[in-house]
Structure 1
Amino acid sequence: MSYGDVDLSKTNNAAPEPPAAEPAPEAPAVELVPAAEPPLAEPLASAAQPTASTLAEPLTPAAPSPVEPVTPAASSPAELVTPAASSPAELVTPAASSPAELVTPAASSPAELVTPASSSPAELVTPAAPSPAEPVTPALPPTVGAPVQPGQPLPVAGLTPPPKRRRGLIVGLVVAFLVLLLEVSTVVVIATGDPAPSAVAAPMATATPAAAPTGPPPSPKPGDSENVRFAWALDQIRTSLATMTKGMRDGNLGAFVKPAADKKVRAELDRRFRSLRAMKVAGFDLSVDSGPVNEKKVGGFSQWNVRVGMAHCFAVATCKPSTAVFDTVWRDSPTGYRMTKISAIEADANGPHPWEVSALTAAVGKRAVVAAPKNYAAKARAFLPLAERAAKTADKYVLGDKPDRYVVYLAGPAEWKKWFGGSEDWAVGFAIPATRTRSDIVLRMEDLSSSYAESVLKHEMGHVATLSGRDYRAHTGDDWWLTEGIAEFIEWDKRGVAAYDRKQSSRRLIRERKFTGNLEKLVPDDDAPDWQIDAAYGLGYYATSCIAAQYGHKKLMTFVDQLLREGRPASVVSDQYLGVPWPTVTKRCFTYTKQKLGV
């Protein structure tokens, strides 16, 4: 039983995860004569594949012969530390007449190995080791700023060559050259513990490794694994869904139907496009919800099942979209993946939605969207003002997020049995979860008079305001009386208990069916006569009105929230929020009801 409103004309009252291996069968489609459409664009070309790049290996300078190890201070392989004022890089270069002229390389990054122009690593001259009789004696460096006498050798890297020895001067200058080379090219001397330490080139700053290839995966080749075929299919289908999304947002029908494999699928997509655009769909986005799964070969091409998620809302560009899911089938072809089948939302998910299976027109207001088949276009326009007024009343009772728009569908006899799985013949309207966060309303135009329409709209919008996105079927047991009672309470907002129009049937049920006030047993049987269904709604209303009268409106709405939205039992909620045990509440409210009915 879906939530709905009984047709008073029939009573004696005066007043009125991954999809299954085989997708769900398609819902019947209304035959349309589509207008001329723009030609389909050429299919998307496969993206070019990335190519690998090779990094040239850096040249490593030849290790110098064993010399007195010189370790540059405060430097690491990854950092080139600028020497202090007295470092070799800032020494005054000897005059051109010096036996060995040093060339100071320009500043370079750690990743660059700069070799003096006068030589290459292969041409370095290994200096002879100092004679044991002629040691090189370290001397304290001169005071910063001390003048250098003409002809006196310059102090290099903290070493002072022996005076008056030409050979020592040459050795010192060569050592200085090596120190500069070590300093510039970040060569580090590593002590190995061996008798003769060796100079080892430190690793140069390595370029960041090439990132993993981006872009679409490669097109499968014969013999490729299922993983390769899966990746290719997923990428191609996502690309097609992105094209469809943009087509819907831009109002481009050609782009939206582009993935269709044949005329039948194109007609399905065409109908959905026109209906959703008429309802001013917003926040629209198609994505892969699950899959691809269940690959099989058809004509030598891979075919996959894919569950698609459709995020959407209506009329409000800044809305928080909710998502509906439906099944599709996609098959590879010489021109790329194409959609070969699209199914309606399954019945166990409250499908199909009206925009999936019917060509709709719509009237859109500030608080409501009224959609209907084209033969009810005039009714949609006429009902919009009624829906706008009803929405203002329902807004005062919203629990949770306020709906962006109340979505109302006007159904003819065929649509009543099809939309959202259909509903009972005794009802004139129902509200039902369309997504996890939104509930929509369907009104039965065959049995609904214009004079009664606004009352029914208030009742159904009351369900949306208090139960939006909740599955009504979870509230057809012990809490049914409150589910319908609060909707009736909202319908009769500010009209008062005395004017309530289900008095006669409610009084009859107490007298004839010996009802004693047990609200949890109030839910009518599916085969109950219309008057008993009418009375059950009425007694739910009286009990709800009683709680508001006895404990206050605020406590009533908290009670409704806890029972209907949080799923807590009345026996617990009553003590906590009404301040009295639940049996006391039911006893008081049954007395209240009998007083109002004159029983």
Structure 2
Amino acid sequence: MLLLVGVVSLVRLVASQAVHSGPDVVLPPTSGQSGYVQPGERLEQLLSAQGEALLRGDEQGWLAPLDPDDAQLREAYRSQFRTLRALRVSSWQARPVVRPLLKRGEETSTDVTVAYCLAVPKCPPARFVGPEAPQLTQELTVRWGPDEQTVTITGSRAAERDRYGSRPLPWEDGGLTVREGRRVIVAAAPGETERLAEAVSAGDQAASVVDRYGRLAGREVPERYIVFLAGAGEWRTWRGGTAPEWAAAYAYGAGKTPSNVVVQMAEMRDRAGLLSTLRHEFGHVITVPGTDDILGSIHQWLVEGIAEYIQWGGRPPARAQLTEVRAHLRGGQWRGSIQLPRLASTSSDAEARVFYLMNHLTMTCVADRHGEAKLFRWWYAMVSEGSANYEPATRESLGESFAALDRACVSHLRRAVG
């Protein structure tokens, strides 16, 4: 349904451009449109110039289209400018979804699509359908006039229905403090700045471990991993506050650029816990950039299993960690396969721990049988499948059937748990 809406909007946009490809014109009066004009290229030029100002570090140019009398709006844009610059914004393309009809001297709302990149030197192209660069939809309120060349932005908010994902994104929040390390950029919410230096240090250390697995898997590692430190309020609001109840952190997709990481700092008891969590989330960044809902549901056991494997540097879980797994197996709740059913967002913390540990054991089993290089080759072949039919990928990558691998790793898991 969303794709259909997007296609319809695209057709309307193309039609509008075909009719109004030249300078701004006054439309012939029609029913209900007397006195209205198509702003045409002027609004697009305004947004393009604003994006160029952002990229060259021109704060006044970024603020230029805004209502000079709206101090709150200008401060919000000023804060966003400084955050985006600190996050190494490398691309910013904004244009109306459909050119709006405006009446001189009055305000109207229009949706604007923004394609952008953060800390990505070569930003992929922005596409309306199947976007490669991350995108969002912003609802702008604009005023046309007093003359034909003047367009003023008088309001801005997240579109009520943003087809590109939940809002607000962490970097849209005001008041972030940003610090850069060798391999990470970390942005802290106002209440989490005391742990900013700790997070930068832990992030750099985590990246040094995770980068090795990225290269082993033949993946291009990010120039910088981007991490947002959330307080309790931000955790409940960033990206709609939809993280599972058992989650302490997550990596969210940013088009086909590397995913960004959000950490719930209240769950990070010490530096060791933060370091371990960042290894796991960076594992998601290098394995499934742009993870979507299908990948996170059909292949969740694989997605979390490989991140656990990376988190612990290929080491299996210690036997002392497996008490809950042992109880789970003895309680008859397991169906006896490495292909575990999806973990629900409302699952308990104990259920989540069992799920993660069992998938971790599965990945160590495959690595023990076939080596790390084949583990990652098999893993990528598996998650590339559009269904849960893992037979072709397993035979091609490992030279055995999925049924044989399943039996072997079930035995491995039982021995490890004891």
TM over 0.5: yes
Does residue 313 of structure 2 align to residue 313 of structure 1?
A: no
Partner amino acid, structure 1, of 2:145: S
Q: Given the alignment, which residue of 45, 50, 54 partners 1:244? A: 50
CA distance in 2, matches of 1:344, 1:18: 21
Q: CA offset at residue 528 of structure 1?
A: 2.9
- Normalized against structure 1, the TM-score is what? 0.58
Q: Deviations over 1:423-454 (max 9, x none)?
A: 13322111111334331110001121222100
* Partners of 1:395 and 1:402 within 8 A in 2: yes
SS of 2:111's equivalent in the other structure is: strand
Q: Secondary structure at the match of 2:226?
A: strand
C-alpha displacement at 1:566, in angstroms?
A: 4.9
Aligned to 1:343: 157
Distance verdict in 2 for CA 1:19–1:284, change over 3 Å: farther
Query: In structure 2, do the counterparts of structure 1 residues 524 and 286 end up closer, same or farther at CA, with 3 Å as the change threshold?
Result: closer
User: What is the Cα deviation at residue 461 of structure 1?
Assistant: 0.6
Q: How many residues align?
A: 381
The one-letter code of the counterpart of 1:577 is S
Match of 1:334 in 2: 146
8 A contact 1:319–1:404 mirrored in 2: no
Change (3 A) 1:498 1:531: closer
2:22 is the counterpart of 1:254: no
If you compute each CA radius of gyration, which structure gives the higher value, 1 or 2?
Answer: 1
Partner of 1:452: 273
Residues 1:269 and 2:77 aligned together: yes
Equivalent in 230, 237, 255 of residue 411 of structure 1: 230
Which amino acid in the other structure matches residue 548 of structure 1? A
Contact 1:411–1:442 (8 Å) recurs in 2: yes
Q: Aligned partners of 2:105 and 2:290: how far apart in 1?
A: 44
CA distance in 2, matches of 1:527, 1:366: 37
Q: In 2, distance between residues paired with 1:580 and 1:276?
A: 49
Distance 1:478 1:222 in 2: 54
Structure 1 301/526 Cα, relative in aligned 2: closer, same or farther at 3 Å?
closer
Deviation at 1:593, TM superposition (A): 0.6
Q: 1:352 to 1:532 in 2, by over 3 A?
A: same
Matched, 1:470 2:291: yes
d(CA) in 2 for partners of 1:306, 1:477: 31
Q: CA deviation at 1:348?
A: 6.0
Aligned counterpart for 2:199 among listed residues 383, 386, 393: 383
Runs of 4+ in 1 over 6 A off after TM superposition: none
After superposition, the CA RMSD in angstroms is: 3.0
- Could you tell me how far apart the structure 2 residues matched to 1:367 and 1:269 are? 28
CA distance in structure 2 between the partners assigned to 1:344 and 1:584 by the alignment: 50
Residues 388-403 of structure 1 mapped to structure 2, 5 A cutoff: 388-398=204-214, 400-403=219-222
Residues 1:428 and 2:248 are matched in the alignment? yes
Amino acid in the other structure paired with 2:407: K
1:592 aligned partner, one-letter code:
H
Amino acid at match of 1:462: G
- Aligned mates of 1:509, 1:555 — CA distance in 2: 30
Pairing 1:85-484 to 2, within 5 Å after superposition:
217-220=23-26, 223=29, 233-261=39-67, 262-281=70-89, 283-288=90-95, 290-293=97-100, 295=101, 297=103, 301=106, 303=108, 305-314=110-119, 317=121, 322-329=133-140, 330-335=142-147, 336-344=150-158, 346=162, 349-398=165-214, 400-422=219-241, 423-449=243-269, 450-471=271-292, 473-484=293-304
1:221-251 Cα shifts (integer Å, max 9, x gaps): 774998x977x52311122113212321232
Aligned mates of 1:508, 1:441 — CA distance in 2: 32
Distance 1:410 1:302, change over 3 A: closer
* 1:264 Cα offset (Å): 4.2
Question: Which whole-Å deviations, capped at 9, do the CAs of 1:152-210 have from their partners, x for residues lacking one?
Answer: xxxxxxxxxxxxxxxxxxxxxxxxxxxxxxxxxxxxxxxxxxxxxxxxxxxxxxxxxxx
Quote the offset at 1:277 in angstroms: 2.0
> Offset of 1:579 from its aligned partner?
1.5
After superposition, give the CA deviation of every residue in 1:49-81 in whole Å (9 maximum; x if it has no partner): xxxxxxxxxxxxxxxxxxxxxxxxxxxxxxxxx
1:564 aligns with 2:383: yes
Any unmatched runs of 5+ in structure 2?
A: 1-5, 10-20, 126-132
**Partner residue, 1:525:** 344
> What does residue 585 of structure 1 align with?
405
If asked which structure has higher relative contact order (CA below 8 Å, sep 6+), I would say: 1
